[in-house]
């Protein structure tokens, strides 16, 4: 399976030649800030499987987990493209919204639920983590 994507203005494009290792909905405070008060929905891929063309801006801060998080975005339109943790540089956390055909993607887990607002609704079928979950399992060798 492969995915393509682009920012809202088309200045940044991406191609991903892999299935995600995991998909998650994140309610941490940083994600709520960049997602206008809601959660972010993300697909986690091996960094080497994500090819990006176009200039990216970046913002970095220390997350509640203690790791340094860097969020990459299109500097022209502001579209979030992916995030990356200093603890997992081999992974890129790509936002569902930048993927052209995200219809086959859905969160498999909800994370940082302790930071979610009281009005947040969690799918009862999804695994939940109050804070930082373990890293996704490596992709099978094939």
**Candidates 3.30.420.40, 3.40.50.2300, 3.90.1590.10, 3.40.50.10860; CATH matching 3-129:** 3.90.1590.10
Q: What is the mean pLDDT of the chain?
A: 92
Cα-Cα-Cα-Cα dihedral sign, residues 103, 109, 111, 113: positive
Among 110, 124, 107, smallest CA distance to 26 is for: 110
The number of beta carbons lying within 10 Å of the beta carbon of residue 136 is 19
pLDDT in tens, 45-87: 999 999 999 999 999 988 877 889 999 999 999 999 999 999 9
- The DSSP symbol for 140 reads P
Residue 76, pLDDT score: 97
Tokens for 21, please give them: 């290792």
């Amino acid at each position: 399976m492969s995915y393509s994507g682009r920012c809202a203005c088309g200045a940044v494009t991406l191609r991903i030649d892999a299935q995600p290792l995991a998909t998650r909905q994140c309610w941490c405070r940083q994600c709520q800030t960049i997602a206008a008060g809601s959660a972010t929905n993300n697909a986690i891929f091996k960094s080497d499987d994500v090819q990006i063309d176009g200039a990216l801006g970046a913002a970095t801060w220390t997350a509640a987990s203690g790791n340094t998080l860097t969020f990459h975005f299109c500097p022209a339109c502001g579209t979030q493209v992916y995030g990356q943790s200093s603890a997992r540089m081999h992974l890129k956390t790509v936002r569902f919204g930048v993927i052209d055909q995200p219809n086959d993607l859905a969160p498999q887990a909800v994370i940082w639920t302790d930071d979610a607002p009281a009005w947040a609704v969690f799918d009862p079928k999804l695994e939940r983590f109050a804070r930082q979950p373990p890293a996704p399992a490596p992709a099978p060798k094939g």
